[in-house]
Amino acid sequence: MQLERPIIFFDLETTGTHTENDRIVQIAAIKRFPDGEIEEKNLLVNPQCPIPESASEIHGITDEMVKDKHVFRKYAKSMFNWFAGCDLAGYNSNQFDIPMLAAEFRRCGYVFPDGDTHFVDILMIERLVNSHRLEATYKRYTGEDLEGAHDALADIRATITILYNQLKRHSDLPLTPKELDTLTTGDEPRADISGKLRWVEGKLVWNFGKHRGQPVVETFDYAEWFLRSDFPADAKTLVQELMK
């Protein structure tokens, strides 16, 4: 990749998939600098709530393992500073990891990510050339089984390996985080973190579903359904403000 500023590849393990109600139990992140330097973090987090058995069966993290760990608020300031000024990358990170981390930061009083951040979602890139889960994608590119799948650090290491194999194998793919972001999400700027909304010629427009491409102000019934449903809080706030 051609980097003008650091990029952080990260993966979260959580109590569930709801960005507002669920909490992080593990954060694994690898920061790559333009000069090739690498920094790595791997933290277990006390979610301050029971971890459902169904979640523990996936990632292997139990209440016992996190009971003596710090809560997210204890990590928030140092993690926010560490992430500042970096582009973000992960596997399905646009739809899950980035909104989930943003929600945790917001509860601690931090606005994340900043408006200059580029998102590189390796799953979205992979869907342009193939369509498979992380384990299958890793094996297709490396010929090896992914050891330790669903451990956050193992998953994000595999994600980095996939991206660099994607770029090597598909020479027509761009090399910068900005260009990769545009490739997977389009030229129009996203209005919210997960990309459910976009700004098009100054208008807030739906970027998914049956009203994709239509201004929110012209689909109030859909907007009301959106506000009642399980969508990230930052997107709901934009719709609420517009409906006022």
pLDDT tens-digit readout, 184-201:
877 778 899 988 999 999
The pLDDT value given to residue 244: 81
How many CB atoms are closer than 10 A to CB 84?
Answer: 13
Read off the pLDDT of each residue in 27-48 and give the average, rounded to a whole number. 97
CATH code matching the domain that covers 7-185, chosen among 3.60.21.10, 3.30.420.10, 3.40.50.300, 3.30.470.20:
3.30.420.10
Tell me: cis bond preceding 113? Omega within 30 of 0 counts: yes
- Band (129; pLDDT cuts 50, 70, 90): confident
Please name which of 132, 146, 154 lies closest in space to residue 61, comparing C-alpha atoms: 154
Buried b (16+ CB within 10 A) or exposed e, 103-131: bbbeebebebbeeebbbbbbbbbbeeeee
The pTM assigned to this predicted structure is: 0.71
For residue 234, pLDDT beyond 90: yes
More confident residue, 186 or 237: 237
* Per-residue confidence (pLDDT) for residue 209, from 0 to 100: 84
If one compares 219 and 20, the residue with the highest pLDDT of the two is: 219
* pLDDT tens track for 93-109: 998 999 999 999 999 99
**Residues 129, 133, 137, 140, CA torsion sign:** negative
Q: Which residue reads 């973000």 in tokens?
A: 88
Q: Is the pLDDT of residue 26 over 60?
A: yes
* Residues 164-178: tens digit of each pLDDT: 999 999 999 999 999
- The predicted-structure confidence for 49-85, as pLDDT tens digits, reads as follows 999 999 999 999 999 999 999 999 999 999 999 999 9
To the nearest whole number, what is the mean pLDDT of the chain?
93
Strand runs (DSSP E) across the chain, as ranges? 7-14, 24-32, 38-44, 87-90, 119-121, 197-200, 203-206
- Dihedral over Cα of 68, 47, 135, 28: its sign: negative
C-alpha 77/C-alpha 83 separation (Å) is 10
166 Cβ partners below 8 Å, 6+ apart? 122, 125, 126, 129, 141, 173
Q: Where in the chain is the domain with CATH 3.30.420.10?
A: 7-185
Interval 199-210 mean pLDDT? 90
What pLDDT, on a 0 to 100 scale, did the predictor assign at position 94? 93
CA dihedral for 178, 179, 185, 191, sign (positive or negative): positive
For residue 208, the model assigns a pLDDT of 86
Instruction: Give the pLDDT confidence score for residue 131 in this predicted structure.
Output: 56
Q: Is 80 exceeded by the pLDDT of residue 28?
A: yes
Can you tell me the distance from the alpha carbon of 158 to that of 152, in angstroms, rounded to the nearest whole number?
10
Which SS3 state, helix, strand or coil, does residue 10 take?
strand
CA angle, 231 then 45 then 81, to 5°: 80
